[in-house]
Amino acid sequence: MAQLRLRHPKGVSTIQIDLDSATVQDLLQEIYKITEILPSRQDVKAGYPPKGLTLIPELPISSLGLSKGEQLIVNQNSGGQSTRSTPARSAAAVSTTGEVPQPNSQPSGPVQPTKNEPDSIEVEGGYLVHRIVPDDNSCLFSSVAIVFEQNIGKAQEIRKIVADEIRKDMVTWSEAILGRPRDDYISTILKSSTWGGAIELAILAKYYNTEISSVDVETGRIDHFAPSPEADSGNRSILIYSGIHYDAATLAPIKDAPADFHQTIMPVRGSTPEVDPILKAAKGLADKLREKKAFTNTSTFTLKCENCGKGLTGEKEARAHATETGHVKFGEY
């Protein structure tokens, strides 16, 4: 174990971490425990003069080139979420599971309104409200729990639904589709430290017989996950996707209405924002968040391998290069 020194808004602290076996995500979680700055909001610098570190959570901590006793300067990003940490799976991705450390416990029971007024868009019948969930690796499951169970504390039950559906349908959810052995995928998705993405949304839309529409903040693109045609309820739910995080969007009669008064499932009036007022409002929410830079593009930021000098684009190429070559030290161009 190596000792690292942290300078952060609360003062100076030290952490113990294994520089040989830990991942970048392990480091981000240790920093979070001390500073209470969410991994997606951490700005970490090291060296002299201090330089920003390229934080790719799935890579080993050795990718950062840290040494025993090194001092890290940690601050919170002020504008939206960090472009360098905690990537989640794209709404359009095929394989969705990835293990990261056990998060802190999440709130249980019905969702309570936040102290700061969330973003909202006026729509016929009230306001479509951005319902923010914890940044704790279970954001997709928490958002779905809000929408379909009206209880964020049921996120783990949502994971079990996914596991059970995969277990029951060996044809649809084959190893080829899942990208890994079925039993491995099932055991992994049950862990509260595992991300969810497109596979989980497709399963949950069919389980609840309700379309799940995921709105991408950066592009405004809307991905529709449809239920089985023979069981379609004709209803829709809305999720907001920032590139590294999912939140829910629900309909409130007034902006500050308690969560219990929110409508979480709405009738489908069309498949585009031009004809469906709820989709139009959801796209408006994405526009608001984009203006605040509240999104992360983990596929387009440019990196350079500091071992061989090769230029890379995005987290996916960095991980592939690390697997092929064993090179794990990267910097941003």
Half-sphere exposure of 73 (CA within 13 A, CB side): 8
Active site residue 327: yes
Residues 187 and 171: beta-carbon distance below 8 Å:
no
**Given 43, 135, 139, 262, which residue is catalytic?**
139
Rounded Cα distance, 325 and 83, in Å: 25
Alpha helices in the chain (DSSP H): 24-35, 139-149, 155-168, 175-178, 182-189, 198-207, 277-291, 314-325
- What b-and-e string marks burial along 297-323, b requiring 16 or more CB atoms within 10 Å of the CB? ebeebebbbeeeeeebebbebbbebbe
Residues 152 and 146: beta-carbon distance below 8 Å:
yes
Active site residue 136: yes
Active site residue 262: no
**Given 245, 247, 305, 321, which residue is catalytic?**
245
Query: DSSP state, 154?
Result: G
Q: What is the CA radius of gyration of the chain?
A: 20
Helix, coil or strand: residue 125: coil
Rounded Cα distance, 62 and 103, in Å: 22
3-state secondary structure 203-234: HHHHHCCCEEEEEECCCCCEEEECCCHHHCCC
Crossing angle of the two packed helices 155-168 and 182-189, in degrees rounded to 10: 170
Q: Which residues, in sequence order, are bridge partners of residue 74? A: 44
Query: DSSP state, 293?
Result: T
Active site residue 321: no
- Other C-beta atoms lying within 10 Å of the C-beta of residue 235: 15
**Given 119, 135, 136, 247, which residue is catalytic?**
136
- What b-and-e string marks burial along 209-228, b requiring 16 or more CB atoms within 10 Å of the CB? ebbbbbbbbbeeebbebbbe
Residues known to be catalytic: 136, 139, 245, 327
